[in-house]
Chain A
């Protein structure tokens, strides 16, 4: 798996520790530390908020509350959330006041001195309570095809159930942070750890009551985002800006991991009520699925997340009759938000889980059921009416089945489990473990499902030495978007990669940008950058054609300063590009193939650039890209939701300890279609990183709340993301080279989110292991039919599913 393709553009400064993150900025004289005050109760009416004692503490310079906020409402879709809560707080961790102090110690004491009198209100802390009380966000949405009721009623086999999927914390290493510098005339410069500089700019401006043009949001890089900084970083930046405005001093907010986990939302928990009909061969006939998500106290991105869950309820499989209904619930939890995969993983888990259960009922290998139902020629239209083009699914299934040695391992696993289950006692060493194997797929739709977000712009500036700066709205958070953009521009202009510098993202250079999200960072911003570079290239090519016919003694570098020769006018820009080749930092006249002749004229790129400057030819360009051919009608649930699909398959083998419920991932094989990759090393890193992140979500990452919806597992001592010891013992990742994705820039496919959904194979492999117990034990079968293994399948839950009787005996109730 070692890869020596071009390293990340920050790789040197990352390993030396010189890479600058928000809190690495040297503190200025007078700069304040900013922190947040919140209550640990779910829903309460504020009777009084007393900040007077806090203000008396030496070192506390300012406290801001709701009344200091000019426009106290924000939200990426609906503006329903206060930046600072006023009369009521709707979740444990909702900010009521923000303190600015000269030292961390004064800040801590200031926060401790704020007094609140409040009267608790009734709260809703689960999806089921919300359903009962009809506490919803947004309206119900549906996607329908065929006649589900009819198909279900005539289906030879049916299964139904309620799948519970819990949330997960992003656990980016760099906690939410921002520094605000007050500038003259009410302007504000904000450095934020955000995936969405434009929204941060807007929220800060509205909080301060100034024009959007008075705020600049700057983002050098993020220490991880994963969706957690798509929307929820904006109010954090506003807190720093409000303190900076009030005190006219720089202000810095850096959340502790505990505050970050308590205050910010997670992956939405889901509860999915479904019924599926199928025939005895394993063909899926109908799926009826009602999805509820816990949106938390405010809308945030939850309705869009729900939409993606509904759009991915088919995953890789053609289902003739489908009814998917989605409704976001309003509860008194922190407002849940984007997390790598958005709603996709939830929709996909349902159908992949169903297939495991079908395998148990029909005694057919789940892989055969998957291959039978996979999207293929003649069965390639999704339930929302989009054709699955450039479909790699059948071939990747077949190939991974072979390369992962699926069938042989299947019989070994069956033998292992037979021995374990046949033993006289489960406490004997030979019977301590059970194994499971499952191969699942992903077909991830690439594009924002909200059409207007699919646009981006870029600024390319060529300097007189031929070096190039590129600025886009993309945010670098480890995924390598800057490296990929640099490689695209270098390829376009034929210059060495080290001549390109992708600059800090700033709303001053690129406005009205979309968040770096939905895996579209390179697609949108890379395409815009290439368009800009292309415009400069056209002019340089035209100049080259002129120069080849001139005596070098008359070139601008010899004459422009004196004005002794007429200035060059460039013409026929389109043609010029086709007659030149930009390669190896040189531009060569190649002529039009088949006609005309070339003198083999060649000029160095830097020299050409200098001639262009002296000829008063612009060396800067702005590129604008919009994704074509999109058209999804959200109200009808039909249309072209995506530009294309990124696809892949994974086979995971797990071993379960029957005494502790502990799960080990023994082997994982992944085959991922990434189109024509720009940088394989970066792509492989996305695949392994996303997979392991998803593996944490489906296994060990367990959010535990108290009765007020206050998060108890708010640090790594209680919230367990995978450690280096949890990586699969054998981990094989291969990229499926697929040159035929014509829909996207340079034939690439997005890779940020899709592989996360492959981690569902770890969960379904646990289900597969449980199936062997059910096969021998009717009471276990009965339990597993009525109790679906939830996500995450923590050790405790796995043990409960293995030995339900131990958890239900009177002594253990």
Chain B
């Protein structure tokens, strides 16, 4: 049986089922909304998912899911229309009911939450997203939901006043307005097939580029093996930025967006298995109990708009030396699960994380191999594990240095576990086995930790860049390590 394929992206936009075909589907969602749908309330400022002016809300559940989709905020500037297949979208134009402003809109207006107005639709959408989950917001919660929105006029106080005064109104609830069983069913039917779109080769087009979103993992593996120049994407939050900054799209893009099995996250008593399409918001929920330290850490990196879309696997596959989750994965001995199609055979394997980062942005993956999941061991790691991230600005900033540290002692007071992983200090995220070996079996003491600290310093080779000098990074690493041992073992001098 040959799978059905489809050459148009289908989604619901402010309640209307919408089809987009050909070159238009390769546009970013924000550009398409503004230039094709003429919905110009959605703004483009940074085109890199850092300012939130392009915020829209999206509800999506993979095929076969029994859950009712929920509207969540996302950046429309770094996602393509292609990735919206099967989604329900609402823009700022979809909020009013019969000329009556939605609660977030009237609160922003009354509290002087808007000055120049350019960031305003983005803030309104961020608050709206929060109100789909919570009936009311306190100041702190409101701020957390708006971490991904920049405003240069108000100093934020009036916006916080607005968000704090908002009460959700059943009449304006987007879930009940737009996620009707009929719309959900119709969209499911229209998108129950493999999506394959070819850009045209004319001057207006994308030069024969192909976007392929199969429904089965095996098909993705086959395509990945067959097309040497293909690019695999999960949520593509980084690829989207690169495209906006002028980097050409790969000739053949394979998206995992329509493969339901990759959306699963399962917990056991010893580990959590995170599928390739699980986003960071879902990950945070799943980690709250087994690893509260990691859940806390997820709160201080990336914006809600990014976390509602971006995946742990994307962070891993991107392999940036300052990828925020990578020291954590290294320190916890995570295991990478992969799948591949080679010599006519579909196979799966596991790769230890310590073997995974080979060189700068180079991974231990074979041609065509796809990361399907990451298994995070929990249990023994939860106790003394601490995660650190230092950046110019506390929130929503790429780290200068990040670290995952875990040292524990046995009953006789000797160090029985040591995992030390750092980001931002070398070409790849690193785990410092040498220092760990030195520490194992020692009794915690100031001299021991000072020696370890000096070893760490000698092993790292940070660079200077726009986020900090090499010296600053070295000082930070020492300070983080010392802070960790002092907090964990007290003052041993």
Binding site for B on A (CB under 8 A): 1-4, 7-8, 10-21, 23-24, 26-27, 57-59, 102-106, 108, 170-175, 221-224, 226, 256-258, 424-425, 427-429, 432, 477-480, 659-660, 662, 664, 681-682, 684-685, 687-693, 700, 702, 704, 712-713, 715-718, 720-727, 731, 733, 794-796, 799-800, 803, 806-807, 811-813
Of the candidates A223, A722, A795, A807, the one whose C-beta lies within 8 Å of that of B390 is A795
19 contacts between A and B (CB under 8 A): A4-B110, A16-B92, A16-B95, A59-B204, A257-B48, A429-B486, A429-B487, A660-B476, A664-B394, A692-B155, A693-B152, A704-B465, A712-B465, A715-B46, A716-B51, A720-B393, A722-B393, A723-B147, A725-B143
Which residue of the partner chain B has the closest CB to A659?
B479
Chain A residues in 8 Å Cβ range of B246: 108
Q: How many angstroms from the CA of A691 to the CA of B156 in the assembled complex?
A: 11
Q: Which chain B residues lie closer than 8 Å to A803 at the CB level?
A: 475
Which of A4, A172, A794 is B392 in contact with, Cβ under 8 Å? A794
Q: Bound state CA distance, A116 and B420, in angstroms? A: 50
Cβ-neighbour of A691 out of B116, B120, B155, B476 (below 8 A): B155
User: Contacts A659-B483, A662-B394; is A17 near B152 (CB within 8 Å)?
Assistant: no
Q: Do the beta carbons of A688 and B157 come within 8 Å of each other?
A: yes
In the complex where A688-B157, A692-B155, A725-B143 touch, is A717 in contact with B115 (Cβ < 8 A)? no
Complex: A688 Cα to B153 Cα, angstroms: 8
Residues of B within 8 A of A4 (CB): 110-111
List A contacts of B112 (CB < 8 A): 3, 7-8, 11, 681-682, 684-685
Q: Given known contacts A173-B53, A715-B46, A727-B160, is B116 in contact with A221 (CB within 8 Å)? A: yes
Chain A residues with CB under 8 Å of B31's CB are: 104
Q: Which residues of B contact A105 (CB under 8 A)?
A: 204, 206
Q: CA A172 – CA B480 in complex, angstroms?
A: 36
Rounded to whole angstroms, the CA-CA distance of A794 and B476 in the bound complex is: 14
Q: Does A723 contact B393, Cβ atoms closer than 8 Å?
A: yes
A812 and B153: CB pair below 8 A?
A: no
B106, CB-defined interface residue at 8 Å: yes
When distances are taken between beta carbons in the complex, the residues of chain B under 8 Å from A480 are 115
In the bound complex, CA of A421 to CA of B457 (Å): 25
Nearest CB in chain B to that of A13: its residue = B117
Which of A103, A693, A718 is within 8 Å of B204, CB to CB? A103
* A478 and B116 contact, CB distance less than 8 A: yes
Q: Which of B51, B117, B465 has the most CB of A within 10 A?
A: B117
Shortest Cβ distance from residue A112 to the other chain B in the assembled complex, whole angstroms: 8
The complex places the Cα of A552 from the Cα of B196 at a distance, in Å, of: 78
A100 to B187, CA, bound (A): 40
A7, B106: Cα distance in complex, Å: 11
Q: Are B158 and A257 in contact (CB under 8 A)?
A: no
Q: Is B344 an interface residue (CB 8 A)?
A: no
Nearest A residue to B161 via CB reads A2
B116 contacts A720, CB within 8 Å? no
Which of A20, A258, A713, A812 has most chain B Cβ within 10 Å?
Answer: A812
Interface residues of B in 16-54 (CB under 8 A from A): 31, 34-35, 38-48, 50-51, 53
Chain A nearest CB from B459 CB (Å) reads 12
- Other A-B pairs, 15, CB within 8 Å; known A10-B117, A685-B112, A812-B471: A15-B104, A15-B121, A58-B202, A173-B43, A174-B116, A224-B116, A257-B48, A660-B479, A662-B390, A685-B154, A688-B155, A688-B158, A693-B155, A712-B465, A716-B48
List residues of chain B with CB within 8 A of the CB of A731: 157
Contact yes or no, B101 A718, CB < 8 A = no
Query: Which residues on B sit within 8 Å (CB–CB) of A429?
Result: 486-487
Q: Are B491 and A796 in contact (CB under 8 A)?
A: no
Query: B41: which of A18, A26, A222, A257 is its contact (CB, 8 Å)?
Result: A18
- Looking at chain B's contact residues, is the secondary structure mostly helix, strand, loop, or mixed? loop
A-side contacts of B47, CB under 8 Å: 256-257
Cβ-based interface call for B466 (8 A): yes
- B124 at interface by CB-CB < 8 Å: yes
B475 interface neighbour in A221, A716, A806, Cβ under 8 Å: A806
Please state if B479 and A690 are interface contacts (CB–CB under 8 Å): no
Q: Is the CB of B475 within 8 A of A2?
A: no
**Cα-based distance from A659 to B486 in the complex (angstroms):** 12
User: Would you list the 10 A-B pairs with minimal beta carbon distance, nearest first?
Assistant: A17-B41, A478-B116, A223-B118, A478-B115, A692-B155, A14-B117, A688-B155, A58-B203, A716-B50, A17-B92
**Residue contact B203 to A103, C-beta cutoff 8 Å:** yes
Q: Are A725 and B45 in contact (CB under 8 A)?
A: no
**Chain B residue at minimum C-beta to C-beta distance from A111:** B246
Nearest chain B CB to A171 CB, angstrom units = 5
Q: Verify if B276 is at the interface (C-beta below 8 Å from A).
A: no
CB pair B479–A721 under 8 Å, yes or no, is no
List of B residues within 8 angstroms of A19 by Cβ: 117
Is A727 a contact of B155 with CB atoms below 8 Å?
yes
Q: With A and B bound together, what is the CA distance between A716 and B151 in angstroms? A: 12
In the complex, chain B residues whose CB is within 8 Å of the CB of A795: 390, 392
Stretch at the interface among B59-67, B178-186, B227-235, B395-403: B395-403
Do A173 and B118 have beta carbons less than 8 Å apart? yes
Residues in B neighbouring A104, C-beta threshold 8 A: 31
**Chain B positions near chain A (C-beta within 8 angstroms):** 31, 34-35, 38-48, 50-51, 53, 91-93, 95-96, 101, 104-106, 108-112, 114-121, 124, 143, 146-147, 149-161, 165, 202-204, 206, 244-246, 390, 392-398, 400, 457, 465-469, 471-472, 474-476, 478-480, 482-483, 485-487, 491, 493
A173 and B149 within 8 A (CB): no
When distances are taken between beta carbons in the complex, the residues of chain A under 8 Å from B53 are: 173
Beta-carbon contact of A812 and B156 below 8 Å: no
User: Which chain B residues lie closer than 8 Å to A14 at the CB level?
Assistant: 108-109, 114, 117, 120
Q: Taking CB as reference atom, which chain B residue is nearest A683?
A: B112
Judge whether A690 and B101 touch: CB under 8 Å.
no
Distance from A9 Cβ to chain B, minimum over Cβ atoms (Å): 11
| Interface pair A718/B466, CB less than 8 Å apart | yes
List residues of chain B with CB within 8 A of the CB of A11: 108-109, 112, 114
A23 and B54 CA atoms in complex are apart in Å by 14
Residue of A nearest to B205 (CB): A105
Let me know if B154 and A700 touch, CB within 8 A.
Answer: no
CB B80 to nearest CB in A, in angstroms, measures: 14
Are A173 and B466 in contact, with the CB atoms below 8 A? Answer: no
B424 to chain A, nearest CB (A): 13
Question: Known contacts A11-B109, A717-B50; is A174 also within 8 Å of B390 by CB?
Answer: no
CB atoms of A659 and B480 under 8 A apart = yes
CA distance A12 to B110 in the complex (A): 9
By beta carbon, the residue of chain A nearest B51 is: A716
Residues in B neighbouring A718, C-beta threshold 8 A:
398, 466-467
Given contacts A172-B116, A224-B118, A700-B393, A716 and B482 within 8 Å (CB-CB)? no
Give A631 to B31 CA distance when docked, in angstroms: 51
User: Contacts of A24 on B, CB cut-off 8 Å?
Assistant: 34, 40
Instruction: Give the chain B neighbours of A170 by CB distance below 8 A.
Output: 152
Query: B121: nearest residue on chain A (CB-CB)?
Result: A17
Q: Which residue of A is nearest B27, CB measured? A: A104
Which residues of A lie under 8 Å from residue B101 when comparing CB positions?
12, 15-16
Instruction: Assess the B154–A689 pair: CB atoms within 8 A.
Output: yes
For the complex, what is the distance from the CA of A434 to the CA of B55, rounded to whole Å? 38
Assess whether A716 is in contact with B155, with CB atoms less than 8 Å apart. no
> Is the CB–CB distance between B115 and A8 below 8 Å?
yes
Contact A727–B157 (Cβ < 8 Å) = yes
Whole-angstrom distance between the Cβ of A255 and the nearest chain B Cβ:
11
Given contacts A16-B101, A478-B117, A795-B392, is CB(A717)–CB(B155) below 8 Å? Answer: no
- Pair B157/A221 contact, Cβ less than 8 Å: no
* A483–chain B nearest beta-carbon distance, Å: 10
Contact status B111-A224, CB under 8 Å: no
Known: A173-B53, A720-B393, A723-B147. A428 touches B479 (CB 8 A): no
Bound CA–CA A151/B392 (angstroms):
43
Distance in angstroms between the alpha carbons of A8 and B108 in the assembled complex? 11
**Nearest B residue to A731, CB-CB:** B157
B473 to chain A: closest residue by CB? A796
- Interface pair B475/A478, CB less than 8 Å apart: no
B155: chain A residues within 8 A (beta carbon): 685, 687-693, 722, 727
For residue B456, give the distance in angstroms from its CB to the closest CB of chain A. Answer: 12
